[in-house]
Structure 1
Amino acid sequence: MNKQEVYRFLEEKQIRYEVTEHPAVYNMQELEQVELPYPDRDAKNLFVRDDKRRNYYLITVQGDKRVNLKEFRRKQGTKPLTFASPEELQQLLGLIPGAVTPFGLLNDTECKVHFYIDRDFWQGSGLIGVHPNDNTATVWLQAEELTALLREHGTAVDVVDLD
């Protein structure tokens, strides 16, 4: 799915969302330069794999959080983790580095990637801001609706405490 297809998909599913268009951003530092309506609700996404390249994970946390992969591994019971390659990102999620987003999981037709999302997104407004498979916009929607869409797609989704 490209950006417009993500918007159409959300409309078909009758999901309320808001879009902030902005210049392309490739990391959280660049995103900090963009004026966002909900800067405390933007997401940081890590696409990782185990050392045998058998299991892939997308980990989504609030933008200001750091993820300790060793601690994540211990809590979730995975094998050692490392960042997946740009080729693996393209092959599995149809995305490029800098445009990693949970919406890419909709491109994962075999549902090979396990999604972990930080429970903190359910606090307060419940909003989450993620790219629409393109790093020139941020889509704001309810975290609960995002996870429901992904589960409906067949993606394994876990809401976890990520400190």
Structure 2
Amino acid sequence: MNDVQPKTADDLFRFLDDLGIEHSTKKHEPVFTVAESVALRDEIPGGHTKNLFVKDKKDNYFLLTVEEHATVDLKTVHQVIGAASKVSFGKPEKLMEYLGVIPGAVTALGAINDTDGNVKVIIDEELMAFDVINCHPLSNDATTSIGSKDLLRFMEATGHEPLVLKVTA
């Protein structure tokens, strides 16, 4: 376990600014589920994300970022993402170690904390149809809006090759 402190939202925003990526963030009450966050939809346009932190039996970790209402078949998604076996959810300790977030705050933007490239990032192609994608900025008490193409640029800047695949049912 490394002793590196996870980056903060301010670190994330500086990183985006340094890349010249436009972003806007709206603070709100903490939300832990898609159902709780739906109440914010009128205020925040664009595609809203659901994130699944999963692993295969060989301890390969994956972050699946999909549109919030999409369904992912965990029995078959391994065939699409290149996992060694069926996947199961990763433990909260690994989520914190690799992405620097707690359950309920999982976000594609957590890739900023995965400096060793332990997690393979998969973005659902249906989510990429949105011009703007909304993610938690490393905590679940705010929503950050970023352009879909800029999300891919962000991933590359963090050392991740984002795979855009059809992972939803």
The match for 1:70 among 71, 75, 81 is 75
Secondary structure at the aligned position of 2:75 is classed as: helix
Equivalent residue, structure 2, for 1:45: 51
Give the Cα separation in 2 of the matches to 1:106 and 1:99. 14
Q: How much has 1:71 moved relative to structure 2?
A: 2.2
Gaps of 5+ in 1: none
Deviations 1:37-91 (A, max 9, x none): 34551100000011232x0000000001111122211223312200001111011
Paired residues of 2:47 and 2:127 also in contact (CA < 8 A): yes
Give the Cα separation in 1 of the matches to 2:36 and 2:74. 23
> TM-score, normalized by length of structure 2?
0.88
Do structure 1's residue 58 and structure 2's residue 63 form an aligned pair?
A: yes
Do structure 1's residue 145 and structure 2's residue 153 form an aligned pair?
A: no
Paired residues of 2:46 and 2:132 also in contact (CA < 8 A): no
Instruction: Could you list the structure 1 runs, at least 4 aligned residues long, displaced by more than 4 angstroms after superposition.
Output: none
Give the Cα separation in 1 of the matches to 2:40 and 2:161. 32
Count of paired positions: 161
Gaps of 5+ in 2: 1-6
Q: How much has 1:35 moved relative to structure 2?
A: 4.4
Give the Cα separation in 2 of the matches to 1:37 and 1:69. 31
> TM-score, normalized by length of structure 1?
0.91
The match for 1:129 among 113, 126, 134 is 134
RMSD: 1.5
Give the Cα separation in 2 of the matches to 1:77 and 1:139. 29
What code does the residue aligned with 2:149 have? Answer: E
Equivalent residue, structure 1, for 2:12: 6
